[in-house]
Each structure stands twice: as structure tokens, then as C-alpha cells.
């Protein structure tokens, strides 16, 4: 084991790696219940009763399997202590923007995720990754992270029933019925059991986070689930009761649809979504690697130089990126949105995790959760909402690096950050932000500073909006 994982060479030992793996698992285990609660909104649409429960359980198992496979690849191929699972933000993008917002079937959306994974593998194995890193400026990368954080938090507030939406008779016109309406958000009166349960979970989670308790979000979910038993009967036992049988993944396994690849109109419609997935996934992953990994000495300057100038997989960083891309494609086959590196891996690294053994421990712990699916399925939506809000808080960190006092830099960043939650779409935020970035640079006489890839991507976004305006695509 020491020889395979190079424990002594990395200044660690088996005990330290096991403790690090347990720590990382506890901080990210919330995804097991949160991911199916988000994806099932779209993938369970139109289903009821047993079929809806089967779909939820299938997504839950797909979530665990994607985490196991992705994290094992990370540990055994790249030999670094990072864990993977379906990403927060990307799952919300999948559900609320792609499926519900654009009316795209979840099967097609899984196909988009698969293609995203394939493209990411190609990017990792070629010099395209360097071009992508150079093309998108740091300002936009930071804004994308912050915007996704606000978007996730907004979903959390909605799921927690903390927001109420009142209808006022002015400003907005319902053309179909000729009735003037305006929907205004406001805070609720806190009589809703869902709100009360979510608040309990939120308060518990924040207190534990402030006290730096490992597994704080997981404990918050458990506390809210227990509270749901006594408040409004939100926590309900399924028809099959508690069982340790592993549910079937058949409802989602290999259900991805790739037929859109031969339809030019659908390709034009979905290509911006593929790009949005890749951009979000790539910058989240690189942020985790170059931030946490670099500070801990897991990746050095040679790794970073190899990423920017080389091709293939000659460094740990390149192997780690390959593991991340492979996990996305594999997760789509199981039936879940993009699988990506979790920043919560920093918790295990802070405990001394330095090699892939940490990742293997995380994967084994996820494996142990498979027979606990029926228990995890008891978690109500109100109990997972606080985790979304807290994740939103954590994802706002990149906002501190934005130059808000420089109007030229702030314009595009502002539109990315606010358009995402305002339009309930990550893709819209990226599209509008990219457009204003190009406009700003051209007006300021800095057109040559904009990378060709930025122009190409922006043109694709504009083309999508034009085709929507003409009614060619929805």
C-alpha cells in the first residue's frame, strides 16, 4: 500500500489517510439526499406513486455509484486526495434551466452531460485546455462561481418556503388572458411546517459550521429530518418501510438520449448548454485543484506548467483532470448530472490527506451507503433546503476577487452574478455576461484583448437568442 500510494514520499501514513477520508466523506455526504431531491423534480415529472419513488431511488443510487467510480479513478489513477460526486449548481442547472426552463427531456439532458464529459476528456488530452484557461478571464471565472452560489441559495429559499410570491394587479401583462399581473416575492409568515423544519435545519447547520464541526451539513439534514416527524408529518415512511435492499438503477441507467446530435437545429440549441456545463465544471474543478491542492503541496509548479504547456497525462494535475472528466461521462451513464471534484475535499486535506488512499476511503464509505437507500429516502425536501443555502454562502467566496470599483471589469461580472438567479438560469447568466464582456472591450478599444474563443462562444449565445426570437427554437 505504501509503495502504490507513495505514502512516505508524500509525508503521510495509513492512519492519517483513513481519518482524512472519513472527514471528507462526512462533509460531502449530504449530496446523497440533496442530489436526488433536485434531479427528481425534473426526472420524476409526470410520475406518481411507486414510479416516482422508484425514480428517486434510482437517482439516489446513481449519485452514489457516480461518486464511487469518480472518486476511485481519482484515487487510483491520479493518486490525489480529492473526492467526486454530482456537483451542486450543475444539478440545479440540469433541472431548472435545461429541463424545466428549456423544456428539454431529462434523457436528452443526460446526453448533453455525457457529451460534456467526452469534450472534457478531449480538452484534458490536448492543448485545448490551455486555450480555454487563457480565453476566459479570471473576472468572469470568479463571477460564474458567485452567480451559481446565488442561484443555488435562491433554490434553497424556494424549497424551504421562506419566500412567498404575491400577485399585484400592475406592470406585467398576461397576453393570453389580457390580465395585468405582477408577481412580487416577500418573506413568509412562518406558519408553514416546511418553513419551520427548514429553519431548524438551517440554524443547526450554521451553528455547527461556525463551530467547525465536521459533517455540519449532514447533521443539519438529519436534525431537520427528525424535526419533520413532529412538525407537519413531513418525514414519512415509504410504502416498503425500511429495507437494506439496494434499489434498482434501471429507471435512469443508460437512458441518455444522443439523437439530438444528428439534428442541426437541436445542436445549435444545445451547444451553448454544453459550453455552459463545461465552463462551470472546468473552473470549479481547477479552482479546487489550484487552490486547495496547490496550498497543500499536492500539486506543484511543474504540474501547473504541464497543464498550460503540455498535452497528455504526464502530471498528477492532468491525471486528476482526466479523472474528473471521466466521472462526468460515467455519471451520465448511471443517470445523474455532472460529477465533479468537491471543494469539501479540503476538509480531508486539512486533516493530512495527501494521496489517493484518502479518495479510496471516501469511495468505500459511499459504497456502504448503498444498502441504506430506504433510510436516506425518508429525508424531506425541507431538510435538504438548508444545505443549498449554506452551499450558496460557501460559493460566494470568489466574489471577493472581483474589482467592483473598476466599472469596465464590473459590468460583465455583475450581469453574470445577477442574471443567473433573476432568470433562474446559469446559462443565461454566462451568455449575458459574455456578451457584455465583449461589448465592453470593443467599446474601450481593447478588442484584441478578447480571445478568439470568447468571440466564438459569444456568437453562439447570440445565435441562440436570435433563433429563440424567431421562434425556430424554444
Each residue's pLDDT, cut to its tens digit, for the chain (474 residues) gives: 777 888 888 788 888 899 888 888 888 888 898 899 899 999 988 888 788 888 989 999 999 999 999 999 999 998 999 999 998 878 988 998 889 888 899 999 999 999 999 988 887 777 676 676 667 788 887 888 788 788 878 888 988 888 877 766 555 555 555 555 566 777 888 888 989 999 999 999 999 989 988 778 878 888 998 998 888 777 766 555 566 778 889 999 999 999 988 888 888 888 888 887 887 777 777 767 766 666 667 776 676 666 666 566 667 878 888 888 899 999 999 999 999 888 778 778 877 888 999 999 999 999 998 888 777 767 787 888 888 788 888 878 888 888 899 999 999 999 999 998 888 777 788 889 999 999 999 999 999 999 888 898 888 888 878 877 776 655
- Distance between CA 140 and CA 146 in Å, rounded? 10
Residue 412, pLDDT score = 93
Count of domains for the chain: 1
Task: For residue 249, tell me if it sits in a domain.
Answer: no
Choose among 320, 252, 265: nearest CA to 94.
Answer: 252
Choose among 421, 395, 385, 378: nearest CA to 242.
Answer: 378
Task: For residue 429, tell me if it sits in a domain.
Answer: yes
Cβ atoms of residues 64 and 369 within 8 Å: yes
Q: Which three cell numbers stand for residue 87?
A: 456537483
| Residues, the chain | 474
Contacts of residue 115, defined as CB under 8 A and 6 or more positions apart, other chains included, come to 258, 261, 274
Continuous H helices in 211-299:
216-230, 264-288, 294-295
Choose among 124, 120, 73: nearest CA to 313.
Answer: 124
Cβ atoms of residues 360 and 21 within 8 Å: yes
User: Domain residues for 98?
Assistant: 2-242+254-469
CA distances from 5 to 105, 355, 364 (A): 42, 6, 16
Cβ atoms of residues 216 and 26 within 8 Å: no
Task: For residue 247, tell me if it sits in a domain.
Answer: no
Task: For residue 455, tell me if it sits in a domain.
Answer: yes
Task: For residue 370, tell me if it sits in a domain.
Answer: yes
Task: For residue 360, tell me if it sits in a domain.
Answer: yes
Cβ atoms of residues 194 and 160 within 8 Å: yes
Choose among 66, 37, 123: nearest CA to 332.
Answer: 66
Contacts of residue 9, defined as CB under 8 A and 6 or more positions apart, other chains included, come to none
Return the axis-axis angle of helices 193-210 and 381-394, rounded to nearest 10°. Answer: 40
Residue 106, pLDDT score = 95
Sort 29 into a burial class: Cβ within 10 Å, 0-12 / 13-18 / 19+.
buried
Task: For residue 265, tell me if it sits in a domain.
Answer: yes
Task: For residue 355, tell me if it sits in a domain.
Answer: yes
Amino acid at each position: 500500500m505504501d509503495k502504490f500510494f507513495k505514502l512516505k514520499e508524500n509525508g503521510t501514513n495509513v492512519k492519517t489517510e483513513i481519518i482524512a477520508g472519513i472527514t471528507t466523506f462526512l462533509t460531502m455526504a449530504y449530496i446523497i439526499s440533496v442530489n436526488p431531491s433536485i434531479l427528481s423534480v425534473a426526472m420524476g415529472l409526470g410520475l406518481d406513486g411507486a414510479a416516482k419513488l422508484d425514480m428517486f431511488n434510482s437517482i439516489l443510487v446513481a449519485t452514489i455509484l457516480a461518486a464511487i467510480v469518480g472518486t476511485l479513478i481519482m484515487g487510483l489513477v491520479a493518486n490525489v486526495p480529492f473526492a467526486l460526486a454530482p456537483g451542486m449548481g450543475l444539478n440545479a442547472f440540469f433541472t431548472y434551466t435545461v429541463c424545466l426552463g428549456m423544456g428539454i427531456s431529462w434523457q436528452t439532458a443526460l446526453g448533453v452531460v455525457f457529451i460534456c464529459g467526452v469534450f472534457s476528456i478531449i480538452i484534458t488530452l490536448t492543448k485545448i485546455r490551455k486555450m480555454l484557461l487563457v480565453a476566459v478571464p479570471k473576472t468572469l471565472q470568479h463571477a460564474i462561481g458567485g452567480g451559481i452560489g446565488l442561484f443555488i441559495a435562491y433554490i434553497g429559499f424556494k424549497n424551504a418556503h421562506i419566500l412567498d410570491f404575491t400577485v399585484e394587479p400592475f406592470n406585467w401583462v398576461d397576453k393570453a388572458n389580457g390580465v395585468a399581473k405582477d408577481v412580487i416575492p416577500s418573506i413568509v409568515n412562518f406558519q408553514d411546517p416546511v418553513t419551520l423544519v427548514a429553519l431548524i435545519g438551517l440554524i443547526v447547520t450554521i451553528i455547527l459550521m461556525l463551530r467547525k464541526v465536521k459533517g455540519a451539513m449532514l447533521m443539519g439534514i438529519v436534525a431537520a429530518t427528525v424535526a419533520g416527524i413532529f412538525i407537519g408529518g413531513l418525514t414519512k415512511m415509504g410504502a416498503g418501510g425500511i429495507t437494506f435492499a439496494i434499489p434498482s438503477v434501471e429507471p435512469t441507467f443508460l437512458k441518455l438520449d444522443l439523437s439530438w446530435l444528428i439534428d442541426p437545429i437541436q445542436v445549435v440549441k444545445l451547444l451553448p448548454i454544453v459550453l455552459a456545463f463545461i465552463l462551470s465544471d472546468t473552473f470549479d474543478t481547477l479552482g479546487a485543484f489550484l487552490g486547495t491542492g496547490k496550498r497543500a503541496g499536492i500539486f506543484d509548479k511543474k504540474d501547473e506548467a504541464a497543464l498550460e504547456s503540455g498535452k497528455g497525462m504526464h502530471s498528477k494535475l492532468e491525471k486528476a483532470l482526466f479523472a474528473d472528466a471521466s466521472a462526468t461521462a460515467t455519471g451520465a451513464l448511471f443517470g445523474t448530472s455532472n460529477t465533479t471534484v468537491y471543494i469539501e475535499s479540503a476538509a480531508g486535506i486539512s486533516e493530512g490527506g495527501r494521496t489517493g488512499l484518502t479518495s479510496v476511503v471516501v469511495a468505500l464509505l459511499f459504497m456502504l451507503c448503498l444498502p441504506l437507500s430506504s433510510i436516506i429516502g425518508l429525508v424531506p425536501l425541507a431538510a435538504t433546503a438548508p444545505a443549498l443555502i449554506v452551499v450558496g454562502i460557501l460559493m460566494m467566496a470568489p466574489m471577493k476577487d472581483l474589482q467592483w470599483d473598476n466599472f469596465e471589469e464590473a459590468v460583465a461580472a455583475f450581469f453574470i452574478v445577477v442574471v443567473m438567479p433573476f432568470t433562474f438560469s446559469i446559462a443565461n447568466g454566462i451568455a449575458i455576461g459574455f456578451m457584455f464582456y465583449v461589448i465592453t472591450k470593443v467599446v474601450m478599444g481593447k478588442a484584441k484583448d478578447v480571445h478568439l474563443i470568447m468571440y466564438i462562444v459569444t456568437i453562439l449565445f447570440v445565435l441562440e437568442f436570435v433563433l429563440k426570437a424567431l421562434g425556430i427554437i424554444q
